[in-house]
């Protein structure tokens, strides 16, 4: 199955560079449909460029705090000098949404650079 998701410019660049290998999302109804080996086409919300990735593995956690404990900051999309903080995800998903659905780390592998 192929899914489509929008992505901010910075995380898109990190995926394209193959440094970001974990896409973090809410484990809501849409993400619960994902399976290993599905394809996701990410569209850059700034440039409209797209990139296709394969879902390698799905990692489900109760919170982003828990997810961050299991992956290094580079794989989560941070730069070497950045401080990885799970609270960063609150600009995308409220604490209430996180508590309701839990969160997901989508382990990905780039299969096509762009269309």
> What domains lie within the chain, and their CATH numbers?
2-112 (2.30.130.30)
How far is Cα 88 from Cα 13, in angstroms, rounded to an integer? 18
22, 40 in Cβ contact below 8 A? Answer: no
The CA-CA-CA angle for residues 102, 105, 110, to 5°, reads 150
pLDDT (tens place) for every residue of the chain, 115 residues total = 999 999 999 999 999 999 999 999 999 999 999 999 999 999 999 999 999 999 999 999 999 999 999 999 999 999 999 999 999 999 999 999 999 999 999 999 999 554 4
Model pLDDT, residue 114: 46
Model pLDDT, residue 92: 94
Model pLDDT, residue 102: 97
Model pLDDT, residue 112: 59
Model pLDDT, residue 115: 44
Residue with tokens 């390698």: 56
């Amino acid at each position: 199955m192929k899914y489509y998701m929008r992505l901010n410019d910075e995380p898109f660049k990190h995926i394209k560079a193959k440094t970001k290998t974990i896409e973090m999302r809410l484990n809501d109804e849409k993400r619960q449909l994902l399976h290993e080996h599905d394809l996701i086409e990410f569209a850059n919300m700034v440039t409209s460029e797209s990139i296709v990735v394969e879902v390698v593995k799905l990692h489900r956690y109760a919170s982003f705090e828990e997810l961050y404990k299991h992956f290094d900051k580079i794989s989560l999309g941070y730069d070497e000098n950045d401080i990885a903080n799970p609270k960063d995800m609150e600009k995308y998903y409220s604490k209430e949404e996180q508590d309701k659905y839990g969160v997901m780390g989508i382990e990905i592998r780039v299969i096509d650079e762009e269309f």
